[in-house]
Chains A and B, each alone.
Chain A
Amino acid sequence: MSRHRNVRTMNYDEDYEGYEDVYGHSVEDDYPSSPSGKPSHLCYLNVCTCNGISFLLVSVSQFIFDRSGSRAPQMSQFFDPENDIAEEPEEDGEMPRNRDVEKARQRLDSLTIDSAVDDAVAELVPEEEILLKSCLDEIRDVVGDSFLDKVVISHILHAKFNREKALDNLLSGVTVDPTNLSHVPKKMKTQRETPIVRPQPIKPKDPVVKVEAGPVKASSSGVTSISSKPVESLKVVPASSGKSVTVGFDIPKERSVTPSPVPDTLQPQQTNLKCPSPVPVKQETPKPSKKKDFKPDLALSEYTKERGSSKDLLNLLVIGHVDAGKSTLMGHVLFQLGQVPKKAMHKFEQESKKLGKQSFMYAWVLDETGEERSRGITMDIAQSRFETTNKSIVLLDAPGHKDFIPNMITGASQADVAVLVVDSTKGEFETGFESGGQTREHALLVRSLGVTQLVVAVNKLDTVGWSKDRFDEIKARLTTFLVRSAGFREAELIFVPCSGLQGENLTKTSTETDLTSWYKGPTLLTAIDELKPPERPVGRPLRISINDVFKGPGGQCIGGRVETGMVQPGDKVLVQPVGEVVTVKSITLDDGVGTTAFAGDPAIIALQGVSDANILFTGCLLSDPNYPCRVSSKFQARVVTFDAMTVPLVKGFTGVMHLGSLQEQVSVRKLISQLHKGTGEVVKNKPRCLMKNSNALIQLECSRPVCIEEFKDVKELGRFTLRYAGVTIAAGVITKVM
C-alpha cells in the first residue's frame, strides 16, 4: 500500500524530464528533501493562489528556484529577451502589494483552491484521469513547469479536457475559479488587462535574468505555433499518455489510473500545507552555447548598489626572495595600522625573544603555524585585511622560499596587484636577483598571472645607511629586468625605500633625516593606496575557484575567490569537475560586510547538500549550473618559456601545471608550432623541441579532467604556469579546450 501511495503522490511529468537525460538517477539526487533548505517555500505559500492570480504563486516560487539555477530550460528562454526588460518595473510595483495586502487572505485561498482541485480530481472516473494526465503532459510540454499542477489541472477540467482550449486559457491569463471546478465549467473570468504569467523576481538581487516575457508573446501568436517549438528544444517526455517511461527505476502499472499528478503534500487527505513539496530540480545537460543568453545587467546594477559607495577592494600579494622581509614588512604595517593589538604584539616579542629570533616578531603576525615560527620562514599564504584611505586591501603574504612557490602561485592567482620586496643589503639583493633567486621568478610569475601594477619595496635600506646610491642602483637594475623581461610598464612601477623592522616609511612619512634628505615620494601605504583596482567581471556567469576546504562551524566550508559573477546564500552552485549541485548556505566575507560575494572577493562559503566531502578539493570550481565551466583534460595553449628552463620542452615532457589554485600533472602531447616572440607569426611548424625564451603553440594533457576556460572567455581560468623540478619553466594561456 505504501508503495502505491508513493506512486500516487509522485509528480511524474516533472520527474521524467530529468530522467530522460540522466540514466540511473536516485530520487534523492534530484530532490532536496529538507524544506529547511528552501526558505523560499514560505514565500511560496504566502503568495499562494490568491484568487484569480494563481499563476503569481508559481512565478514566485519559480523565480526562487531560478536563482538556484538547476531547473530545466524554461520556455521563457526561447522567447525574445527584449520584452522582459520593459516589463520589469511594472512587476516590481505589483509584487509588494500582493504580498502585503492579501497575505492573510492568501492562506485561506490557497487552502480552498488546493482542496477544490483535489476534490475535483478525486471525482474523476479512471478514463477521465487518463485523459487528464495526457492533457497535462501535453500542456507541460509547451509551458514547461512554469505553472503549478493545480492551475493546469483546473484549466483542463475547466476546458473539459480540450487541451488546446485549456492551454489557450492558461497562457492568456484566464483564470478559473477553483471552487467551481467540476465537469461543467462555471465561468471564465479575465482578471488582468496585461496577462503576466511569470512575473519578475521580487528580489532585485537576482543576477540571472531569465526571460520572462514569453507568455505575452505566446498568447498572441496562438497555441499551435508555440506548442511545436518548445517541445523540440526541451526534449521532454512525449505527451502520449500511453507511454511509460522507466528510466532509472520501474514504474508500477497502477500509475496509469492514479489520480492526476499533484505535489504530494497537496493531496486531498492532507490539508496541512506547512511543508509543500519542493519543486523537483531537473538535471539539465549543460549547453555552453547558452552563454550568449547570459544577462549581466542585474548583477552589475546590484554590484554598483552594494559596492558603489564602499571602498574599492584590492587583492594585494606580497612577493620577493626568501628572507627579503616580506612578512616582517607587512606585519609591521598591520601593527602600525592598529590591526594587531598591542598585547598580542608584546606576546610575540616575548616569545620570539625566547627563541632567540626577536627580529621575527613582526613576521609572527602573519606566520602563525608553529612550523613557520620555529623555522622563521613563511610556508603558506597568510591572509589579512586592512584599510587605506581609499581602498580596502586583502593582504596575501606569499612564501619566498623556493619550495613553496606552489603556494605562492595559489596566492598570485588571487591577486590584483603586488608588492615586490627586495632586500637592499649588500649581496642579499644580488642573490635574490640572480637566476636562481626568487625575485626574478616571482616577478615573472605574477606578471604571467595577470598582475600589471607593482610596488617595489626596497627593504632594509637602514642597513646600508639609507644610501641613495644603493636605492638607485637597485631601482635601475630592477626596472631593466621588470620592463624588458617581465613585461611590466615602467609607469606602473613604484619604488619605495623602507625598513620593515624599523618601521620606517611604511604608513607614516619617515623621520630619518638620511632618508628624507633625498626621498620625497610616497610611503608604502600611500603607494598601495594609489594602485588602481582592476575591472571586476561581475556580469559573467559565476565561477568560484576553491583554494581551501575545511569543516567549519557551519558544516562543510570552502575558502575561495569569486573569479566572475556573484553569489548569494541560497544559490545553487555546481561543483566541478565532479558535477554535483549544492546549495550555498552562507557566505562570510573577510570584512563581514554584506552577504553577497562579487567577482574579486575572497570568501568563505558554507555549503549544503555535499554528498561526499571528497568532491571538494583545492583546485576545483563552483560555477553557475546553467553556465558551467568546461571540464577537459586536453587543451591547446600558447606558452612562453622562461630563461630558467633547464631542460628543453619536448613531446612527452611531464611537469606540474598551476592554474589558479589547481595543481595538476600535465604532459606535452604535441608541439604544434613555434611562434615569433614579437609578432606571433609561425616561425616553424611542429618544432622538435622548445628552447629557452621561445613562444609556441602546444597541446597539453592532464592526468585527469580539470576545469579550464579559454583565455578569451575567462581570463582568470585560462592562465597557467608550468613548473618542473622546482623551476617555473613556462607560462601560458589556453587557446582551445578540446
Chain B
Amino acid sequence: MLYRTAGQFKTSYRADQALFPIRQDAFLLGVILLCAWVIFPLTASEFTFQTILTPILIYSLAALGLNILTGFAGQLSLGTGAFMGVGAYACYKLITLMPWLNPVVAILMSGVFSAGVGVLFGIPSLRIKGFYLAIATLAAQFFLVWLFEKWAWLYNFNSSGAIQVPNLDMFGLYVAGPQASSMTQYYLVLGITCLLTWICINLTRGTLGRTWKATRDMDIAAELIGIDLMRSKLTAFAVSSYVVGVAGALFVFMWRGAAEPNLFDIPLSFRVLFIAIIGGLGSVLGNYLGAILIVGLPVVLNTVPRAIGIEIDSALVEHLNIMIVGTLIIFFLVVEPHGLNQLWRLIREKLIIWPFPH
C-alpha cells in the first residue's frame, strides 16, 4: 500500500542500479532529512540536543567508520575508541598550535592523523586474520590510551592530564567551547555527518567498496581475480580510521567539551562495536538505527517514569535501565541476528509485496 511499486518502470541499467530504485525510499529519506535539518532543531530543547540528537549523530558516524572496516572489508577491530582519541587529541593540538585555524577545517584535518595511525596498525592485517587481528587492534587500543596519558605534550602539560575545549568561533559565531550554543553544534555535527555518510555510501557502492566486499567474503578468491589485498585492506583501514577520527574530534569538540584519556578506553570501543553489530554489519543505515537504540533509548527510558508521573528512586531507574536495554539487545539479536538494518529490509520487502505474502 505504502510501498506500491506499480507504475515505476526502469528503462535503463542506470535507473535500475540507482541508490533508490523505488521512489518511496527517496521520499522517506527526504522526510528524515527534513526532520533532522528543520523540524528537530525547531522543536528540540537544550536537553534533547545534548543528550539525544548530537550524541546519536556522533556515535552513528563512529559506527559508520567501524562498519567500513568490519562490515565492508571484514577486518575486525577493537580499537575504535583509541582511534577516536587520536582524532580528538589531533584536533586539540591543531587548535592550540594554530588558533587561527577554522574549527571545521581542524576537525576534518584531524581525521588525517587517525587515518595515518590506523594504516600503521592495519599493516599486520596483511598477515594475520580474524581473531588474531582483533588482538592486534586491541594492542593499538591499549597503547594509544597509554600514550594519551603519558605524553604530556598532547594535553599541553596540563596538570590534570585532561584536555579542555577552548572557545572557538567561526565568522563571529561560537561553534565550540562553553559559549557555543547547542543548536550551532548540532548543525555542524549534522553537516559533517551528512557529508561523510554521503561519501561513504558512494565509496561502498563503487570500485573500492566492491574490492572491500570481495576481500571480506573470501580473500584468496579476491586475490585470484586480481584484487590487490594490501591496497584493499589498507584503504579500508585508512577510510575507516579517518571517519572514526573525525567522529572522535566531534565527540570532544562539539559535544563533551572536555576529555580525559580513559574516556577513550575499551568501553567506548565496545559501545561503538555494539552499535555497528546491532545496527547491522555491512550497512550504512544500520549505524543510525543502532545508535538510536544504544544511545537514545536509555535516555528516553530514564525520562519516561518521570513524564508519566511515577516517582522512582533514581538508582532503581538506572538498574532497570541496564536490565531493559540488555534485554532489548538480546531480543533484537534473537529476532534478527543480522541487525536492525536487516529487520528494516524485511519490513520493507513485506510492505512492497503486500497484501500477497509468499
Are A and B genuine complex partners?
no
